Amino acid sequence: MNFELTEEQSAIQDMARRFTAEQVTPHAAAWDEDSTFPRETLNKAAELGFGGVYVAEEHGGIGLSRVEAALIMEALSYGCPSTAAFISIHNMATWMIDAFGSDDVKQRYLPDLTTMTKIASYCLTEPAAGSDAASLKTSAVLDGEHYVLNGTKAFISGGGVNEVYVVMARTDQGSQAGGISCFVVDKETEGLSFGAQERKLGWHSQPTASVIFDNCRVSKANMVGQPGDGFKIAMQGLDGGRLNIGACSLGGGQRCLDDAVTYVKERRQFGQRIADFQNTQFMLADMKTQLEAARALLYIAADKVSKNAIDRTQWAAMAKLLTTETGSKVVNDALQLHGGYGFLRDFPIERFLRDLRVHEILEGTSQIMRFVIGREIVAD
């Protein structure tokens, strides 16, 4: 067993960390304060290949595994979890096109997506279909050479701003999960509109809105995979998405731990540094241990997903559960160590606290992760 990163993985991690230090960290607070969508920074990230992390090189990507993707997302989220998660979502949608799309769909969309000339959204969740994604109601009815889509998708990152939408819609009303198909829809398609931008607790650097289909006509050629493949595609995409969101929690947690260590070494109370109190050291010890344990689990799960292991979904769920809950706890403890200063927007801790909280909800809540894990444990 080898628990060390390869030379190539270390180089990828270093590249992502340098990019974050130069292009993300200095601007993240302003993006959050002003709800600024950093399109220019995303384009710079794409120059490093971050627009098509696991898209095949022949289609313009850099063809990395889920392990390398996790390293990249963790590094990016050290500066801004919101922006890192947005890049992850774009990569999930782009991977679906590369992994399941026809040659025609790949040729039409991947060149612009991998360079992030165009950015993709992933549209699964609906107002009445969150954790129970198989119950989605958005319909796609075949009419000649087109499918006519009707319905609404909720909480869509990039909604109203992104140019491409990978959409799950029901093509067979008589089947539950097996009746869902996957489509690529362009922003300018007639019948496609968007709700108002959501006002959120965190993730201020990325736009979020409902995506609305009203007799939206989409060419048959824009179907990804075969009719009925949509739910399978969505679930495979979520395995990778859960790993990336977990990595974003690790990056945010690590940033707050590092900031907390710096702060307690400088802050003095009762005649000595806060860092010299045993209670402080015990808190830091727990934070460090919890992060490293979660990180190890995430890397194992990422390797299983990359190798298409039979138990990959359970491991991805375990990794997502542990990393997201650990990240939130570590950030909360870091705020506690900062005392009242941690509650101020002058320090980055409160931003990370807000940004990481949603990680326990999206890509499957912590409760759904426990359901996925437990179901596999008792399966015959």
How many angstroms from the chain centroid is the CA of residue 84?
7
Secondary structure of residue 51 in the 3-state scheme: coil
Residue 315 carries which side chain, given as an amino acid letter?
W
Examine the residue annotation and report whether 363 is marked as an active-site residue of this protein: yes
Dihedral sign for Cα atoms in the order 41, 207, 50, 256: positive
* DSSP secondary structure string for all residues of 80-116: -HHHHHHHHHHHHHHHHHHHHS-HHHHHHHHHHHHTT
* Phi, psi torsion values for 194, nearest 5 degrees: -140, 150
Rounded distance between C-alpha atoms, residue 142 and residue 103, angstroms: 22
Cβ density class 350-359: b for 16+ within 10 Å, e for less: bbbbbbbbbb
CA end-to-end span of the chain? 29
Rounded distance between C-alpha atoms, residue 255 and residue 352, angstroms: 9
Choosing from 145, 360, 363, 376, which is the catalytic residue?
A: 363
Work out the burial of residue 128: count CB atoms within 10 Å of its CB; fewer than 13 is exposed, 13-18 middle, 19 or more buried: exposed
Residue 171 DSSP label: S
- List residues with catalytic annotation: 363
